[in-house]
């Protein structure tokens, strides 16, 4: 595996924290996805070897947890909460607006691989819906003005590598 030195450092630091090595599989998958942008077959085998478990024990997690991806995702991930309270505040319409403005459809990244929009289930901020996450950044009370600002920010950061999925070395 061609991992960034800081990823390897985090991996080595987290494993001994747990009483049982296997418990470190979720953190390792998180670090791996942050480093590589997705979880490859090679990554699953590497993690399995590291934690002395079978690759299937890693694969079954990658296929279960919605957050992990087996294919490279777009550089920016926009998550729009669609569950009831946000829907009551207009999140379906917001999602349509974002798709139009960012020129992509739900679940399908833009042609340049820059942005992907998906619906998320309840993001636990129901009192200030609709809510949106752009990568790790959180936005609530997203009205038209705020949506336009989010779109402008994403466009202005296009190609700047804030969430560069490819390893540097």
Partner 1 sequence: MIPAEQRVILKYLDEPGYTNDIECYIRHGGYEMLRKAFTMNPEEICHEVELSALRGRGGAGFPAGMKWKFLDRKSGKPIYLICNADESEPGTFKDRQIIHKDPHQLIEGMMIAAYATGTKLAFIYIREEFPQGANILEKAIEEAQASNFVGSNILGSGYSCDIIVHRGAGAYICGEETGLIESLEGKRPYPRIKPPYFPAVLGLYQCPTIVNNVETLCNIKHIIEIGGEDYSHIGVPGATGTRIWCVSGHVLKPGYYEFAGGAITLGELIYEVCGGMRPGRRLKAVIPGGSSAKILRADERYEGHLRDGTAFDWGIDDIPLDFDSFMAVGTMSGSAGVIVMDDTVDMVQALANLNAFYAHESCGQCTPCREGSLWMKKVSTRMCNGKARAEDVDLLASISKQIEGRTICAFGEACSWPTQSFVSKFKEEFAAKASETRSSTDNNGNRLI
Say how many residues touch partner 1, by CB under 8 A. 45
Handedness of CA 123, 71, 75, 7 (dihedral sign): positive
Question: Of 106, 24, 32, 105, nearest to 69 (Cα)?
Answer: 32
What span, in angstroms and rounded, lies between the C-alpha atoms of 89 and 85? 6
If one asks whether residue 24 binds partner 1 (CB under 8 A), the answer comes out as yes
If one asks whether residue 18 binds partner 1 (CB under 8 A), the answer comes out as yes
Question: Of 81, 89, 84, 64, nearest to 117 (Cα)?
Answer: 81
The CB-of-80 to partner 1 minimum distance in angstroms stands at: 12
The CB-of-95 to partner 1 minimum distance in angstroms stands at: 10
If one asks whether residue 90 binds partner 1 (CB under 8 A), the answer comes out as yes
If one asks whether residue 163 binds partner 1 (CB under 8 A), the answer comes out as no
Q: Are 121 and 166 in contact (CB under 8 A)?
A: no
Residues that bind partner 1 (CB under 8 A): 17-20, 22-27, 29-30, 51, 53, 57, 60-61, 64-68, 79, 82-85, 87-88, 90, 92-93, 120-129, 133, 136, 138
């Amino acid at each position: 595996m061609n991992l960034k030195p800081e990823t390897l450092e985090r991996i080595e630091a987290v494993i001994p924290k747990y009483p049982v090595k296997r418990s470190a599989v979720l953190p390792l998958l998180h670090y791996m996805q942050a480093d590589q942008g997705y979880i490859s077959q090679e990554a699953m085998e590497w993690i399995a070897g590291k934690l002395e478990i079978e690759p299937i024990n890693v694969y079954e997690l990658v296929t279960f947890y919605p957050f992990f991806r087996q294919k490279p995702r777009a550089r920016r991930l926009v998550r729009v909460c669609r569950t009831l309270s946000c829907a009551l505040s207009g999140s379906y319409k917001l999602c349509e607006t974002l798709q139009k403005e960012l020129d992509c459809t739900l679940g399908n990244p833009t042609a340049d691989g820059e942005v992907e929009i998906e619906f998320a289930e309840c993001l636990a901020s129901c009192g200030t819906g609709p809510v949106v996450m752009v990568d790790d950044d959180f936005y609530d009370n997203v009205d038209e003005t705020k949506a336009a600002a989010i779109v402008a920010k994403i466009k202005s950061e296009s190609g700047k590598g804030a969430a560069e999925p490819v390893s540097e070395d």
